Structure 1
């Protein structure tokens, strides 16, 4: 690397580390110092059955060996291993491609068919950790259409892993390379068709004596990938929308619900009062129809007592209904202690029952009764007038006639007076119940007005408190958004600086 490039790499690393620290993510991995990491490592990765081990054998001019997974320089080893190691990393439990300590990747794909979705996903994951990647298309000797597959693979990689769109591809045939072993000049054509030598030279050019540079590039690539995978505030937009909707509909929703429930309580209370008053009236009208004069005289106090009991029951039921409404309306807004301190004044139910006025004696009724009684006495004596001795005994029957008339007149007068008193009692009962119902409805309405005022005030206070809490949360989200925007700017600058340094490293790697 040039003299200035290490400083640029260090500055880019520091920028990535600061951006990762801003998001609470781990720093990018450290790269080894010069000479401390040993030979650079080429990790050979690919899907099962693609011929990784056969390719490694062809690169090293050895028979495929199922034993070792890492090939290093040993006395008498092949030239390719003098300055780099080849690694066949084991796959993880879920089948992922684990690059291990790779300085670069050699991705092995099959010439028989284009890359599938699983291979592309695993390639995208591993390419986020290792900067330098080349591809080996294995099996060209067995598939005449390998060039079509190669173009399809290039397009798929460019679509799914755009940064590898310009990666190098090497069509190779380990089968031909193995067949050409030990054949001398006669096997030169097979060796050229195998394509192994160009891949060997390119691996040596890219990797040999460049462990430090490749590891620095991998560290930068890992940092860029980590930043692209940590996007803050992904759920914040949805939460902000929820808060804004709640803030807009907060007061309207609660007030509309409270008004509707209060109107329902009023209707229920008035219906309950009407039902009780009607039942009371029916009971007392039946009593009036059979009551004596003493019973009619006690009607007023009894009706007053019954109306007082009805009023107490209606008021108690209204109080219980209001308590349920308060609990349902404010339970989610006030604490239990605040709900307990909220007291609604109990209404005083005192129905004003008019006292029955004494009925004035009806003298016309008495005269009519006497006249009717005399008429009855004449009607009783009428058969005697046909008897021959009637004139003789007529004078003697006059007192009898008068007695019968007076008795009949007295009975008729009493019956008519009783009927008039009952009619008067029924009229008074209707007036008393109507007036009492009006008084109690006024009491209920007053109680509902008081409850409406108190609950509305308490509801407004609670909603104001809730509104302030929502505003505070919205302000906190806005502040987090502001910090995130500033953080995104710093992140974009760090990523751009790292990508520029990676481009310079790739230029140095490819041209020297």
Structure 2
């Protein structure tokens, strides 16, 4: 067992190593329009004892015995061409480079030298790679394929070919494992995923704090707006009903005054019902706007309307009788003198008529003044009743809004608690995934640190043995002679 085999055997048995199946075929591959198909046809005719295949005839996990890499003499190798060579010759050391179409490209030697330099700079294994020029399907003259056939027979007859191919496949396996270990440490997208997780975590916390603050501000604003709106509504409703009652009172006669207190009580009850309905509607709108449940309003403003004050007016009545009587006597004397002056024969009738008119005027003045007095008393009573109702209604509105604010605050606190729990679950999930990525990275780094030294030692041994084999075999890097 060689040093390379010994070092590879020391690798961890749990470390997966890709395996290949070696096929005894010659693989001809190259970039598109490079002339690979023409070379395959020519080699199949010249080497019938060997199997010559193209790239699509070699399945994944299989490796050929030798690789003929065909490129056109039109231009030097590109990066994609080099990547294709790396892929088809990854597990095969026996590689021949072929520059085709030398019959139409007189500068093919310059292209060949440029290709050799590009590959030598790309990887040390390509420094001693043999290159030949061919014209497998020339437009002019005969085919130039002999040097390629000779070179291919030399490689296939080389006693060290199998060992070199095996070492090259082993090197590729070691490099693949090493790259995989490095990729596991870096993680396929692990950095981007960790960045996304940290961004998501920050966004979740920021969103929760902002939404909580916005909901709190909205709650206070909505409650204050409801308090102002309802207080203004209750105040205006009381003012409007007071004005309406005063207008109705000013138009009432003596008979209507008896039923006026009942009307005041009815209108006061209507105001209470209207305010209660407005409070229910306004608070319901607030709850719907905030998405919170509001405790139902199960009461209404209670206003006690006291009995109307007594309209007794004894002293005022006597005074009005005296004044009315004086007014009536004055009117009677005036009428009697008028009749006596105009028609003396009607003097007695004028005195009697004046007396009657004077009495009637006295009664009318006393009645009108009494009606005005009763209206004034009831007007003051209406102002007092509505004033008490306004105070009671405003207090009731303030109490209902305060109760609604407490109810909304409790509902908002419950919602914030639920949101906080959901946010905590999200943060915990993100932190758990971050820890898992960190743990996976640590495990991958530990595995890399454990295996890479052995892999590097094995790679060095493989390289040393390959160098020894390549030095021992004859090297022929000469290219074809000039195509005439």
Common fold: TM-score over 0.5? yes
1:245 pairs with 164, 179, 203, which one? 203
2:6 matched to which residue of 1? 7
| CA displacement at 1:51 relative to structure 2 | 1.0
1:87 aligns with 2:76: no
**Separation in 2, partners of 1:379, 1:134:** 151
| CA displacement at 1:443 relative to structure 2 | 1.6
1:451 matched to which residue of 2? 407
Cα deviations by residue, 1:424-469 (Å, 9 ceiling, x for unpaired)? 2552354144213421332233213422442354245324423542
1:386 aligns with 2:338: yes
Q: Using a 3 Å threshold, how does the CA distance of structure 1 residues 396 and 319 change in structure 2: closer, same or farther?
A: closer
Q: Using a 3 Å threshold, how does the CA distance of structure 1 residues 362 and 221 change in structure 2: closer, same or farther?
A: same
CA contact (8 A) 2:320 2:366 kept: yes
Q: Using a 3 Å threshold, how does the CA distance of structure 1 residues 444 and 214 change in structure 2: closer, same or farther?
A: same
**Separation in 1, partners of 2:115, 2:232:** 86
Where structure 2 has 5 or more consecutive residues not aligned to the other structure, the ranges are 250-255, 470-484
2:362 pairs with 406, 412, 417, which one? 406
TM-score w.r.t. structure 2 length? Answer: 0.72
2:288 pairs with 304, 308, 324, which one? 324
Task: Provide the secondary structure at the position in 1 that maps to 2:135.
Answer: helix
Task: Provide the secondary structure at the position in 1 that maps to 2:217.
Answer: helix
2:236 matched to which residue of 1? 278
**Separation in 1, partners of 2:399, 2:331:** 61
CA contact (8 A) 1:111 1:143 kept: yes
Aligned residues: 448
CA contact (8 A) 2:234 2:393 kept: no
CA contact (8 A) 2:28 2:36 kept: yes
Give the structure with higher Rg (CA): 2
Q: Which moved more, 1:45-54 or 1:426-435?
A: 426-435
Q: Using a 3 Å threshold, how does the CA distance of structure 1 residues 373 and 105 change in structure 2: closer, same or farther?
A: farther
Cα deviations by residue, 1:276-323 (Å, 9 ceiling, x for unpaired)? 663565356435422532442114432442244235424433553465
CA contact (8 A) 2:98 2:131 kept: yes
**Separation in 1, partners of 2:118, 2:285:** 70
Alignment of 1:203-242 (within 5 A): 207-224=161-178, 226=180, 231-232=187-188, 233=190, 234-242=192-200
CA contact (8 A) 1:213 1:505 kept: yes
Q: Which moved more, 1:163-172 or 1:470-479?
A: 163-172
1:68 matched to which residue of 2? none
Q: Which moved more, 1:435-444 or 1:283-292?
A: 283-292
**Separation in 1, partners of 2:82, 2:385:** 94
The RMSD of aligned alpha carbons is 4.6
Task: Provide the secondary structure at the position in 2 that maps to 1:109.
Answer: strand
Task: Provide the secondary structure at the position in 1 that maps to 2:56.
Answer: coil
1:498 matched to which residue of 2? 455
2:440 pairs with 484, 493, 496, which one? 484
CA contact (8 A) 2:301 2:396 kept: yes
1:416 pairs with 367, 372, 375, which one? 372
Cα deviations by residue, 1:355-377 (Å, 9 ceiling, x for unpaired)? 24634547476467553685477
CA contact (8 A) 1:173 1:196 kept: no
RCO comparison, higher one (Cα < 8 Å, 6+)? 2
| CA displacement at 1:43 relative to structure 2 | 3.1
**Separation in 1, partners of 2:347, 2:325:** 23
1:142 aligns with 2:104: yes
